[in-house]
A and B are shown apart, each in its own frame.
Chain A
Amino acid sequence: MTRMRHLICMAMAAAGLMLSASVSLAQQPDEGDQPGLIADDTYQLDPEWQKQMVYYRTTEPPGTIIISTAERHLYLVQPGGRALRYGIGVGRDGFQWQGLLNITRKAEWPDWVPPPEMIQRQPYLPRFMAGGPGNPLGARAMYLGTTVYRIHGTNRPDTIGTKVSSGCFRLVNSDVMDLYDRVPVGTKVVVRQKPEL
């Protein structure tokens, strides 16, 4: 069954890639999304992007998620002036945002339905992709408010630490699974961007 599912994913991805080839001249290619690619679990993150406990002074209570888009770090606030820091991939320039939201839903191996605005920009993307290792949303997804934005896994660990997404925050699958188990629905998520001139 799972195998069947993978085959379907691969077929959809292949179609997607073929389409992308034909429209790539007119369309800004999205380096960050590669539907169908199976995540390389042996990929070693640079120490900067590896999960680690760091000093972090904040007035936000433990359990809050603070995302620094400029740093490409996600902090899960811990007691005692510290935080668990994860490396993330963030939105491309022009696709970054800031604000306060809550986690409204959590899903394991989520299906991917690229939102209409994304399809408009990248028509070669599949309209639907079932959850699985080749899915760009990766192993887990945490939905932010009623927005189209999510904290999710990835099948492209090499994009951690870069600005590639359409506004979502991606972690490697092992990290997103770790984070998923630590944060309940309702968790406060503060997204910070670098200041504007």
Chain B
Amino acid sequence: MKRTFRGGLLIGLAVAVAVAAVAVTYEIYDTRTLKRTVRRGEVLCGVNKGLPGFSIPDDKGNWTGFDVDFCRAVAAAIFDDPAKAKFIPLDANERFKELQNRKVDILSRNSTWSLSRETDYDLYFPAVAYYDGQGFMLPRARNIDSALDLNGSKVCVQDGTTTILNLADYFRANNMKYEEKKFSRLDDVVKAYEAGQCDTLTADVSQLYALRLNFAKPGDHTILPDVISKEPLAPVVRERDDDWMLIVKWTLYAMINAEELGVTSKNIDAALKSKKPDVMRLVGTEGNYGEELGLTRDWAARIIRHVGNYGEVYDRNIGAESPLKIPRGLNQLWNAGGIQYAPPIR
């Protein structure tokens, strides 16, 4: 009798602890981002304060850019209205904390995906939006088209970054010599390069194109196709909110699949009449994939109509139609020379 009583007490205690643990977990891990977003009526997007091509506001507070358009795509998928995205500029050092603190629903802020960032902050990077990486810029007149021809070069580089380590690794791995010209400020790196103090300047490729824009004669400088480091830029969401994570992930994949299938903001109405199974599943005339995501059947059609496919967003903000004119390179589709590859919608 006594024994049973004690046993019951133990079981009761165990149940209480379990319930408490579930409650605490529930508190820590937010699993209701979609519900809150829908109730609020807008997606809160953490973005860079000002990075041309990726996210930058004009004098009237209108945001444009590749990262900005991605957030608009998520808003379009949920609300059928790309304007239902609110942009909240965040500093590099506060961005992950602010996402954890639920100040934003998504970070779409040129953030490199790495293991420690996912584990240290309990965050999740759903898919790579833009493959960046370290490259080299040099005067076109030097007529070099491979980084392997840079042996013996004087290299301008910013000190105190991973850039300088990647540089050392690359030259060592290829048995090449170089002379480092390092500066703590990026401005000084550029000035030294412009003054001819070095043969080449190294930084992330997207940054090289942005820097080149400010030169007196941008056309006199070329950026090599070689990429010597991995900087996969991805949107970020909180861990353990799988429903929300899937929406963010498949928004990007819908845009990439749309480009692969030739569906654009201009031909979306024709696409809705298409009899091609891949196209029908994408635009929602076949299957209920959108509903499975917690959205509507036409979720992807909304994205494409309001924001465009991956290639359209790329070209408009950082590619051929933008001042940056960054070649697609790694970010070209997998079947057209690059590595952008989205799992199929089916």
Contacts and interface: CB of A to CB of B under 8 A. Distances in A.
Contacts of A57: 334, 337-339
Contact of B260 (A71, A82, A83, A195): A195
Interface string B263-292: 100010011001010010000000000000
B132 to A, nearest CB: 13
Contacts of A80: 146
A197 B276 contact: yes
Contacts of A66: 337
A58 interface: yes
Interface in A78-102: 80, 82-83, 85
B336 A53 contact: no
Interface stretch (B18-26, B35-43, B217-225): B217-225
A82 B225 contact: yes
Contacts of A85: 327
Given A47-B219, A197-B270, A54 B329 contact: yes
A194 interface: yes
Contacts, number: 58
B338 A48 contact: no
A83 B262 contact: no
B234 to A, nearest CB: 20
B325 A53 contact: no
Interface of B: 145-146, 218-219, 222, 224-227, 260-263, 267, 270-271, 274, 276, 279, 320, 325, 327, 329-330, 332, 334, 336-339
Interface of A: 44, 47-48, 52-58, 66, 68, 71, 75, 80, 82-83, 85, 192, 194-197
Given A53-B146, A56-B332, A195-B262, 4 more contacts: A53-B224, A54-B225, A57-B338, A197-B263
